[in-house]
Homo-oligomer: A and B are copies of this chain.
C-alpha cells in the first residue's frame, strides 16, 4: 500500500487536483496538512462529519453567505478574512453574539496550494481575532474552468442577546440614522484592482468583524431598532430594503455622509455612486432620537467607529422613498442599483 497519508503536500509548488475532493487519501492529506493545522480548535479536532458543540441555551440566530469575490486578494484583505467577517456581521446585526462558524470550500482544479494556504491562514487569523471558531467544514473540487479559484460559504450560529430586538422591519418615523464610518471602501478597493486604478493613498477594504461594535452600541442604546451591514448594493440597497420592510421613508443629508476623497474620486472616474458600493466593515444603526447621541458616542468610542456620523432620519412616507438633500441644496431619489455594475464584490 502506498501511504499517501504520511507524505507531505507541496505547499510551494503544488496545485489542487480532482483527487483532493474525491473523499480518499489526497483529501485526508489536504485536510490534515493544510486546513486542520491552520484552523485548529477542539471542535474541528473531533474529526467527524460535523461538530459537537457545548451546551447552549437561548434563541439561536443563523446566517449564511457565499463568497465569490474576484480577485481573491485585494488591498486590506482577501476572500478568507472576508468570508469570516461577512457571516459574523450578519449574525451580529441580528442582535446576536456569534459563537461558531462553518466553512465550505469549492476549489478549482489547478489552484495553487500556496493561494489556498494563504486564504486559509487569513480565515484562521480572522476567526481567532474575532473569537469565533470555525468548527467544521467541507471541500469540493471541480474541473478547471468550472469555478474561479476559490468560493467559500460560511455559516454562523449565534445566540440572541438578552433584550435585543432589532429587525429591518422596526424602523419608525422620527428615528435617526447613523453609520459607523466612510462608505464604499471595500467595493472601490476591489474595483481599483480590477480596473487598474492607482491613487497616492491606495483604497483599502474596510473588511472587519463588527460584533464588538454592535455589542457596545446595544449596551449604550438598548432601544436600537435596526442594525445592518450595508454590503452588496451599498447604503442605497440597504435603506430601500429597510424602508420597504418597515413601511417608512428615509431622508438623508448628503453633506453628512462620510466618503473618503479617494473613494469619491474613483467612483466619479467609474461612473459609480458611493452609496451603491459595498462595505464589509460598516454598521448602519437606526435608533430612536432619544438614544441617538448615546449610540453615536458608543460608535465613536470604538476603533471601528471613530468616523461614525449621523446621516439622516426616518420619516413617514407610504411610498417608502429614500431621498437625499444634496450638497447643492437640491433633493434627489436614492434608488436601488438596478444593474450589474459591481459583480463579485464579496
Contacts and interface: CB of A to CB of B under 8 A. Distances in A.
A66 B139 contact: yes
Contacts of A306: none
A97 to B, nearest CB: 13
Interface in A1-30: 1-2, 4-5, 17-19, 21-28
A105 B151 CA distance: 11
Interface string A134-164: 0111111111011110010101110010000
A201 interface: no
In this complex, the member of A67, A140, A141 whose beta carbon has the largest number of chain B beta carbons within 10 angstroms is: A140
Given A24-B337, A59-B56, A148-B146, A140 B102 contact: no
A58 interface: yes
A30 to B, nearest CB: 13
A58 B56 contact: yes
A228 to B, nearest CB: 7
B94 A47 contact: no
Contacts of A96: 50
Interface string A211-240: 000000000000000001101111001000
A105 B136 CA distance: 19
Contact of A54 (B59, B102, B343): B59
A301 interface: no
A277 to B, nearest CB: 10
A59 B99 CA distance: 13
A26 B232 CA distance: 12
Interface string A97-134: 00010111110000000000000000000000000000
Interface of A is mostly: mixed
A26 B153 CA distance: 22
A136 B64 contact: yes
A60 interface: yes
Contacts of A147: 146-148, 151
A52 interface: yes
A52 B94 contact: yes
Contacts of A141: 343
A254 interface: no
Nearest to A236: B24
Q: Return the 8 tightest CB-CB contacts between A and B, nearest first.
A: A23-B233, A23-B232, A50-B63, A18-B340, A155-B155, A153-B153, A64-B102, A24-B337
